[in-house]
A and B are shown apart, each in its own frame.
Chain A
Amino acid sequence: MDMMTFDLHILLSIVGVAFVGGVIGLDRTAVGQIMVSQPIVASPITGWMLGDVTTGLVIGAVLELIWVLDIPVGTFVPANSTIGAVSATAIAVLGSRGSAPLDRIGFSILLTTGMVPVTMMVDTLVRKWNSRLAETAVAASGEDAERKLAQAHLSGLLIFFLKSFVLYLVFLPVGLGAVFLFGRLPEKFHSAMTLFVKLLPLLGAAIVARKLSVRTLDRFLLAGFLTAAVFTLLFHVPALVVAAMVISAGFLGARFSER
């Protein structure tokens, strides 16, 4: 992408992504938690919106396992993986004007990883600001109490939406500018970013294994590895069939191991 193409189409796309990303982001805290805000869903939606669902699927697959166990317990505010996933997808697609190559996907992911502390800080500020909503509702009396409660409580929707919307409006142009500069970096940098994307699923697998088991080499992890390796490499069973077999075997194995 060159700077000349930072045109109306890009601007409208940025606003569109910011709006849809803001709505999707409500699922994280404010509404439902039906998990549309998870990278594996949010990224493909963004990619589909911008005409490159494959990039969305790649970024969703990479980021899902990395952030899935970063969970909101008590007052802990986890990293905003939704903003990371949506921004990375939008930056990669808009910065490529077509199907995003792997190096740009890798660079976009790296870029949005750097944004994580900012999103956590803003999420924390919003939660502090929300205390005012409770004060408004508690102060109301008489017939006003019910109306003020609903008004104050539902204002949270707008606050959480605006937080994400504004962050996207800041992050996306900055990211697109960075992708423009990335295009001028040496070829070795591009090769490194391609490898980065290919290794990220291993990091995701490591994070899940680390959080779900106290052992470095868990017996279920090893059993799953051997099962898939045998069927994939020895019997050359198609990948999707292996995935289905591993999932089924996992269910059976977990039940069997209890006895």
Chain B
Amino acid sequence: MNGEDREIGVSDLRRVFWRSFLIQTSWSFDRMQSLGFAYAIQPVLKKLYPNLSEYESRLKFHMEYFNTQPYLATFILGAVARLEQERASSNDRSPDVSGIKTALMAPLGALGDSFFWGSLKPLSAVVATALLLAGAWWAPIVFLVVYNIVHIGLRAAALVNGYKSAGDAVAFNARYNFTRIAKQFKAISLFVVGGILGSLPAWRPEFRLAVPYPGIVTAGMGFSLTLVLVAVLRRAGSPVKLMLGLAALCLALAYGGVIE
């Protein structure tokens, strides 16, 4: 078989893309996404290595330890597909496929965690919560749409960029400027959280506090209590502890006769 026959086509990358949604299906502590990576890259390997023993050897090779942020794993899958193509299309067996996986998984993991988990997810959540508290029943749909337009778009773009650049993560990061956008998303999230607190007297009826004060006082009290909770959280409070503490406070207020 000559080199031209071993070109990876759009359909092969598409199969890798869909399989990437299953990259964590067998996630374990010791090998993490190893089987997921091998499963996702398998259609490409099958096309590139018609020789059964070589195909099996490459498949086993990709079962090595692997872990990164699941969405940006597509960038590494694209890069590996390209390197495997180069490797299979010539007698040159030198492309360091393992090296590129090892070199990329940690930085892309940190980048993806910070961007997707640390900024896009809270942004989508606070936007949807703001709408929900304002009475919009369709807020969960907004959450899914906002989050997934960005997530699925970048997931696909990462695969194509990884393949075309053969793993140039610096260029990829420069192109999409994840760090700057993450910072912006965090600022917007904080602004919207502030907005949620500012409109407290107009929240949907289930959440309105039955207090005999003007709206501005109620909003001010809510904002102040939130800042107190922020300060408590800074002193090593966990969500579970805070929830239990809040329940205890409510019980104390009820039994103390403060609320009826």
Contacts of A233 in B (CB 8 A): 201, 215-216, 219
Contacts of B140 in A (CB 8 A): 40-41, 44, 57, 60
The smallest C-beta distance from B215 to any residue of chain A, in angstroms, reads 5
**A246–B122 CB distance below 8 A:** no
Contact with A along B126-162 (1 / 0, CB 8 A): 1111111111110110011001100110000000000
**Minimum CB distance partner of B210 in chain A:** A198
Q: Which of A1-9, A17-25, A185-193 contacts B (4 or more CB under 8 A)?
A: A185-193
Number of A interface residues at 8 Å Cβ cutoff, please give it. 119
| A41 adjacent to B143 (CB under 8 Å) | yes
Q: Which of A41, A193, A246 has the most CB of B within 10 A?
A: A246
**B 180-191 binary contact with A (CB < 8 Å = 1; else 0):** 100011111111
Which one of B25, B60, B244 has the greatest number of beta carbons of chain A within 10 Å? B25
Q: Count of chain B residues with Cβ under 8 Å from any Cβ of A? A: 106
Q: Could you give, for residues 17-44 of chain A, a 1 whenever the CB lies within 8 Å of some chain B CB and a 0 otherwise?
A: 0000000000001111111101011001
Q: Which of B188, B201, B250 contacts A254 (CB 8 A)?
A: B188
In contact, B129 and A40 (Cβ under 8 angstroms): yes
Residues of B within 8 A of A65 (CB): 125-126, 129, 193
Q: Establish whether residues A255 and B46, one from each chain, have CB atoms under 8 Å apart when the complex forms.
A: no
- Which residues of A131-176 are within 8 A (CB) of B? 131, 133-134, 137-138, 141-143, 145-146, 149-150, 152-157, 160
B225: A residues at CB distance < 8 A: 199, 202
* Contact assessment for B139 and A250 in the assembled complex, using a CB-CB cutoff below 8 Å: no
**In the bound complex, do residue A243 and residue B195 qualify as a contact, i.e. CB atoms below 8 Å apart?**
yes
A229 and B198: CB pair below 8 A?
Answer: yes
For A214, give the chain B residue with the smallest CB separation. Answer: B234
Chain A residues contacting B171 (CB-CB under 8 Å) are: none
User: B129 and A229: CB pair below 8 A?
Assistant: no
Chain B residue contacts of A200, Cβ below 8 A: 243, 246
B242 within 8 A of A: yes
Partner of B128, one of A32, A40, A218: A40
Query: Provided the pairs A195-B253, A229-B199 are in contact, do residues A251 and B132 lie with their beta carbons within 8 angstroms?
Result: no
In angstroms, Cα B215 to Cα A218, docked, is: 23
Interface residue? A49 (CB, 8 A): no
A247 within 8 A of B: yes
The answer on a CB contact under 8 Å between B63 and A137 is yes
Give the one of B109, B203, B250 with max A CB within 10 A: B250
CA distance A150 to B254 in the complex (A): 57
Produce 1/0 per residue, A62-83, CB < 8 A to B.
Answer: 0011111111111100010000
Q: Which of B6-14, B28-36, B79-87, B96-104 contacts A (4 or more CB under 8 A)?
A: B28-36
Assuming the A-B contacts A65-B126, A127-B27, are A153 and B35 also in contact, with contact meaning beta carbons closer than 8 angstroms in the complex? yes
State whether B184 touches A36 (Cβ < 8 A): no
A223–B191 contact, CB under 8 A?
yes
A229 nearest in chain B by CB position: B198
A182-B4 Cα distance, complex, nearest whole Å: 72
Task: Check: A232 CB closer than 8 A to any chain B CB.
Answer: yes
**Chain B residues whose C-beta falls within 8 Å of the C-beta of A239 in the assembled complex:** 133-135, 199, 202-204
* Residues A232 and B137 in contact, CB atoms below 8 Å apart: no
Q: What chain A residues lie within 8 Å of B126 (beta carbons)?
A: 65, 208
Q: Which chain A residue shows the least CB distance to B110?
A: A73
The answer, among B56, B131, B222, for a CB contact under 8 Å with A145, is B56
Residues of A close to B128: CB separation below 8 A = 40, 64
Is A122 part of the contact surface with B, judged by Cβ < 8 Å? no
Q: Is the CB of B190 within 8 A of A224?
A: yes
Report the bound CA distance from A138 to B188 in whole Å.
46
How far apart are the CA atoms of A35 and B208 in the complex, in Å?
28
Which of these, B24, B34, B193, B239, contacts A30 with CB under 8 Å?
Answer: B24
A72 (CB) vs chain B CBs: closest residue: B117
Which residue from A32, A67, A106, A226 sits with its C-beta under 8 Å from B198? Answer: A226
B122 in contact with A243 (CB, 8 Å): no
Q: In the complex, how many angstroms separate the beta carbon of A218 from the nearest chain B beta carbon?
A: 5
B25–A156 contact, CB under 8 A? Answer: yes
Q: Which residues of B contact A246 (CB under 8 A)?
A: 130, 191-192, 194-196, 198-199
* Among B34, B147, B223, B246, contact of A134 (Cβ-Cβ < 8 Å): B34
Residue contact B193 to A224, C-beta cutoff 8 Å: yes
Is A15 on the interface with B (CB-CB < 8 A)?
no
Docked Cα-Cα span, A67 to B238, in Å, equals 11
Contacts of B26 in A (CB 8 A): 130, 133-134, 152-156
Given A34-B147, A250-B191, 5 more pairs with CB closer than 8 A = A36-B144, A146-B59, A228-B198, A243-B134, A247-B188
Closest 9 CB pairs of A and B: A224-B194, A228-B198, A246-B195, A206-B229, A250-B191, A156-B26, A130-B28, A229-B198, A224-B191
